[in-house]
Structure 1
Amino acid sequence: LNTYGLRPEIYFAHQIHTNTQYINLLRRVILDRNKIGKIFNRVHERAGHKKRYEADWIPFRPLCANCGRIDEHVKPVEVLENGYVIKYKCEACRYEGYADIRKAEGKAPWRIDWPLRWVLFDVHFEPMGKDLMAAGSSYDTGCALLREYFGREPPIAVFYDFFYWIEPNKEPRKFSKRAGVGLGAHEWLLYAPPEALNYMLLRRHVGDIARDSLRHIDFNPYDIPTYVSRFDSDEEYLFNKLKDGKLGTDDIKILTAYVLSQRDISKAFKHRIRRVPYELALKAAMWMKDIEEGLKMLRRLRALPPDANRFEIEDAKRRLNYAINYLRDWWKPPEINVESVIHNLTDDEKSAIRDLLLNTLDILPEKISQDIIRKYVNEICSKHNLRPKNIYAILYRICLGEETGPPAYRLYQKEFTRRNLVRAAEILEVKKN
């Protein structure tokens, strides 16, 4: 949580249920249970629900001292000692006993417990799932309880929809920790900065905060680079707008979401960082041997400025580490139509690539070097009257589907690029004498 800039003071349920103020609030509700039941019944009637709270309803779920149940099988039957003790009967094990609310020997039902927490902690704002927007929900009855019984306004609610896990050629699935569907907030930190996830959540628009829910999020793990790029581009846009001093209504929304997404709001505008684009971090991470070499690559790609300060260098290092993890867990090699690449070559180019692969593919990946590749390329270019630049471009097209890439010897070292070179050799019928 601290990584995301969240520093909550955590209270466990047992601490709440043994808190003197909470116990007194619960006792009030138990003693005024008939009045509370009527409030809830009005809410249910207005919502068209059939459920009603009877006159003998006791808003407490005792813990059976014999079998340990704390569910609908344990029936509260009588209120004693001025609201502090509940007599109960357990239908599961036939035990009869007494539960003391001062000792947390049971708990209030959620429709009671939740609004009591609002009062205890003086809650004025609470996000919640859009399922609680429904009339007659626990939020609806909780609001009525606060207004009609405690005489205060309930918390303002921001309703949110769910995250849906999207993968190619699969049905969307709702995030579920129990079912193992989705990506945990701690797992996101393997692949991307916390600010980017914060921003993605906060940037959603809602028209009427009292009536509408924030739209759901289709989350595709393969789009993590896109999510980070969105954060980067909006950050750049925002700084430029602030420099101009011209912020429109939508810009204010971006500004609010951006500031709240920061781990430390007080430092939101202290250092303007020139970010390394995630896509270029991926390119560097794919071929680098270590982080320092990755930084050199980023400088050559002009993604990391020559005058980068220490904040920008540290940010670049983090992005390289994110990229390493993303490449390992989610990245998929491009599918190159090697046959098409070879088909479009001239006869001289085919002969040159055939000669090059004949001389280089048998070299062990750990033994090959750029000097070896350069030597063969120069010899072959002289033989076929071609430019080295053309030969390297063909290798990149075969391996990556691009015109440029890393030092050519590294194409022989990565499994996915070497596989394309082997396929090209098969097409060109490269055979050893």
Structure 2
Amino acid sequence: MSDMRDEAMNSKAWPFEEARRVLKRYAKGAPEKGYVLFQTGYGPSGLPHIGTFGEVARTTMVRRAFEMISDIPTKLICFSDDMDGLRKVPGNVPNQEQMAEDLNLPLTVVRDPFGTHDSFGAHNNARLNAFLDSFGFEYEFASSTEYYKSGRFDEMLLLALERFDKIMEIMLPTLGAERQATYSPFLPVSPKTGHVLQVPTLERNVEKGTIVYEEPDGERVELPVTGGNVKMQWKPDWAMRWAALGVDYEMSGKDLIDSVTQASKICRALGQRPPECLSYELFNDEEGQKISKSKGNGLSMEEWLTYAAPESLQYFMFLKPKTAKRLYFDVIPKAVDEYHQQLRAYPGQDDKQKLANPVYHIHGHNVPASDMMVPFSMLLNLASASSAEDKDVLWGFIAKYAPEATPESHPGMDAAAGFAVRYFNDFVKPAKVYRAPTDQERVALEELAACFGDADKALDAITRKNAAMGREDELPKADFADEEFLQSVVFAIGKLHGFEPLRDWFKAIYEVCLGASQGPRFGGFAALYGVEETRALIAKALAGDLV
């Protein structure tokens, strides 16, 4: 383990680079609080989404990397800003009129439109906890309402009151003239209406720990800043939370870079060191536009998990967090196959390679073995060729290809077969476009079908290809169950019929026979689908039955 820790201290994998930044904070010794604190924030005015997943998954990766290089204990808190006032009625909840009546109340006071919890905030917090628990994340849940009301923030709130002018100096230059006139870092919770009010602070009494503000009806009210009587505006609130809890690490989207800057200044004004922060790139849709919940573009987490296992989504989240990535349906098969490629590579890697492998950052030291004998992209082509409506059809081919495999012995493979059928029918099938072969392609496909049915013809094609290339390679054993032999036949036919570049030949096979422009190695497909079935598929394509 010590050797692996040494490697981790030099690893270029981004979670280790982040972890080393956190470790530098405590070069002289462990923190007084006794642990390093990682935080993720969540606004419970809506339901958990793919961004929530990504933030917790990535922060967990950094936490795990830190635990590899340091013996200082760690904590991850998922903080819900549930004392925030409800500013607008979400469009995707029932009982809209009831929700409208509760505008400006703290989310933990707003009545639950679903009728299942004490409040809308409690409902969404429960959804968040169930969501995080379903992925096995280790975290401690924290409620803003609970922290404010229990007094956890009182000491820092009193300090913020004392340093009110410093906070205003930081915030006011970032606001427009109209907002400057009414801005206060403190939002009183009205004793009359329960509303979280956005009103100016008229007077401050540091000794008493109170502020004076004016109610909408004109009455002046004096309130303590402690005990949950006020909530801070969100940038000062973020800073106050960092300072009060001693947060060491937090990441956020690049759209919050300015907020991180202001919150860091306020945290310092409160006498504390702000956390190490990572600003990650946001996701784009297929057209390169920023994903927006209101637009409904891009890909939701629920949609991803409809077509692939959560580990593939964690793999996608691991990749280059500071680089913008397009998040749409076409990335799923690639992510699944790359994840399993990394799983298969892991056991044979040295420590340095293992620490750079995404699967280490997903699973830690307990990296599972892949039971995917067939790539996801191959399953999609199988589903296409067989018009599969359920995974049992795919298992018919898988069982011939790998007789020892069963749905029970290979649950990951079984789940992937189900995902592949669903993905094929929802996305691939509607977009399939077959085309007729060109004259060159027709002759080549006819010879390929003939070679797949006759060992002598297959070996002759390979011999002629070798001769044309000036090579005297030893002929392979003719085995129509061997995908390497079948691939060598496909390669030979492409060369003999003058396809340059050769990828045009493979593209032609898929466009003519499977209605797609790309796919896995055709030799592997033929071995899995069956040589006779492949010959029949080529025959149908040449007869024009697929167009």
TM normalised by structure 2 equals 0.52
Q: What's the CA shift for 1:215? A: 1.0
Trace 1:241-256 onto structure 2 (pairs within 5 A). Answer: 241-242=349-350, 247=352, 251=353, 254-255=356-357
- For 2:512 and 2:294, the matched residues in 1 are separated by 44
Residue 156 of structure 2 aligns to a residue in which SS? helix
Q: What's the CA shift for 1:164? A: 0.3
**Pairing 1:145–2:269 present:** no
Structure 2 residue aligned with 1:175:
291
Residue 153 of structure 1 aligns to a residue in which SS? coil
Q: What's the CA shift for 1:421? A: 2.7
Trace 1:328-347 onto structure 2 (pairs within 5 A). Answer: 328-332=425-429, 333-338=431-436, 344=442
Structure 1 residue aligned with 2:232:
108
In structure 1, the gaps of 5 or more residues are 206-213, 349-394, 424-433
Q: What's the CA shift for 1:6? A: 1.9
Structure 2 residue aligned with 1:215:
323
- For 1:85 and 1:68, the matched residues in 2 are separated by 18
Residue 75 of structure 1 aligns to a residue in which SS? coil
Q: What's the CA shift for 1:129? A: 1.4
- For 2:201 and 2:373, the matched residues in 1 are separated by 61
Q: 1:204 to 1:81 in 2, by over 3 A?
A: closer
Residue 417 of structure 2 aligns to a residue in which SS? helix
Q: What's the CA shift for 1:130? A: 1.6
Residue 331 of structure 1 aligns to a residue in which SS? helix
**C-alpha contact (below 8 Å) 1:130/1:161 kept by paired residues:** yes
Structure 1 residue aligned with 2:200:
75
Letter in 2 for 1:161: E
Letter in 2 for 1:140: T
- For 2:262 and 2:323, the matched residues in 1 are separated by 25
Per-residue deviation, residues 376-427 of structure 1 (Å, max 9, x unmatched): xxxxxxxxxxxxxxxxxxx998663689667869x99xxxx9xx6386xxxx
**C-alpha contact (below 8 Å) 1:232/1:275 kept by paired residues:** no
Residue 76 of structure 1 aligns to a residue in which SS? coil
Per-residue deviation, residues 296-355 of structure 1 (Å, max 9, x unmatched): 31233x3xx444488861011110121122123222443112375899589x9xxxxxxx
Trace 1:3-402 onto structure 2 (pairs within 5 A). Answer: 3-37=134-168, 40=170, 59-65=185-191, 70-72=196-198, 74-80=199-205, 82-90=207-215, 93-133=217-257, 137-150=258-271, 152-166=272-286, 171-204=287-320, 214-242=322-350, 247=352, 251=353, 254-255=356-357, 257-262=358-363, 265-269=364-368, 271=369, 273-286=371-384, 287=386, 288=388, 290-300=390-400, 302=401, 305-308=402-405, 313-332=410-429, 333-338=431-436, 344=442, 400=514
Structure 1 residue aligned with 2:466:
none
- For 2:194 and 2:334, the matched residues in 1 are separated by 50
Letter in 2 for 1:260: H
Q: What's the CA shift for 1:142? A: 2.5
Q: Give RMSD over aligned pairs.
A: 4.3
In structure 2, the gaps of 5 or more residues are 1-131, 447-508, 516-521
- For 2:376 and 2:182, the matched residues in 1 are separated by 63
Q: What's the CA shift for 1:11? A: 2.2
**C-alpha contact (below 8 Å) 2:311/2:362 kept by paired residues:** yes
- For 2:299 and 2:228, the matched residues in 1 are separated by 35
**C-alpha contact (below 8 Å) 2:243/2:270 kept by paired residues:** no
Structure 2 residue aligned with 1:426:
none
Per-residue deviation, residues 234-272 of structure 1 (Å, max 9, x unmatched): 333333324xx6x3xxx35533x322223xx35225x45
Q: 1:229 to 1:96 in 2, by over 3 A?
A: same
Q: What's the CA shift for 1:163? A: 0.3
**C-alpha contact (below 8 Å) 1:229/1:278 kept by paired residues:** yes
Q: What's the CA shift for 1:103? A: 4.8
Letter in 2 for 1:298: I
- The structure whose Rg is larger is 1
**C-alpha contact (below 8 Å) 2:151/2:227 kept by paired residues:** no
**C-alpha contact (below 8 Å) 2:407/2:414 kept by paired residues:** no
Q: 1:267 to 1:317 in 2, by over 3 A?
A: same
- For 1:143 and 1:126, the matched residues in 2 are separated by 12
**C-alpha contact (below 8 Å) 1:62/1:76 kept by paired residues:** no
Q: What's the CA shift for 1:65? A: 4.8
TM normalised by structure 1 equals 0.64
- For 1:221 and 1:83, the matched residues in 2 are separated by 58
Percent identical pairs in the alignment equals 20
Q: 1:341 to 1:253 in 2, by over 3 A?
A: farther
Residue 157 of structure 1 aligns to a residue in which SS? strand
Q: 1:120 to 1:341 in 2, by over 3 A?
A: farther
Letter in 1 for 2:200: K
Q: 1:2 to 1:67 in 2, by over 3 A?
A: closer
Residue 152 of structure 2 aligns to a residue in which SS? helix
Equivalenced residues, count? 336
**C-alpha contact (below 8 Å) 2:204/2:212 kept by paired residues:** yes
**C-alpha contact (below 8 Å) 1:165/1:173 kept by paired residues:** yes
